[in-house]
Structure 1
Amino acid sequence: MQDVAPEILVEESETYARVIFNRAHVRNAITSRMWGDLPKLVRRLHGRRTVRAIVLSGAGGKAFASGADISELPRFTDPKMARAYETLVVRALDSLVRCPLPVIAMIQGYAMGGG
């Protein structure tokens, strides 16, 4: 999946795809690019005949995800930027909720978020 953030790895087996948040050094905190790439990745995986389920996991064995990468927050200096970021997150989460395939979170370690 070349056009997806390098921090998202995809491993496909015969019947499912494993989506790995690959930022173990920051407990797999999710960047704005990762949020933006998730909907197109979910659509692409749903379009593959061999993929019957999507499994989400975190790299490193210590955390599934620590939530949003808060180091990006200082960039959102005006309301338009903050709304654009919120839209990315909502679209990503909505794509997982609305995916016709089963979406499974393989949680090992921390699983955090805010809001």
Structure 2
Amino acid sequence: MKNLSSFYFIGLAVLNLIMDVINSHFVFFDVIFIILAGLPLLINRKWVYQLFGGTVSLISLYILFAVFISTVKDVQTEQLQPLWTYGMGYVLGLLTLSFGLIMTGIINGSQKKNIIITSS
């Protein structure tokens, strides 16, 4: 599951690079994001996964908080954006948070199911 999380973050970094190239805003800093996202796979140590996952989890919590505050502010001023604007923020924030927690080991995806068989 940790490898799947790493590929998710690499995919996000590559998608960011592609969108910057399409919009003519390419900077070398985008390549550094791809290298940083691939670092856990390259080093393949538990502490790197935990450090990267913890950092990404904190960033995604901040994103979720910012989207929530933006939603509340727009409701108060009666200037609602389309639903997909907030929906994308919540979905991306929750996905990133869950993959970050998988990398830290807080969420364990490889649990075995316990089956209890009783006989009468």
What TM-score do you get using the length of structure 1 for normalisation? 0.34
Q: Whose radius of gyration is greater, 1 or 2?
A: 2
Structure that is richer in strand per residue: 1
Structure that is richer in helix per residue: 2
What TM-score do you get using the length of structure 2 for normalisation? 0.33
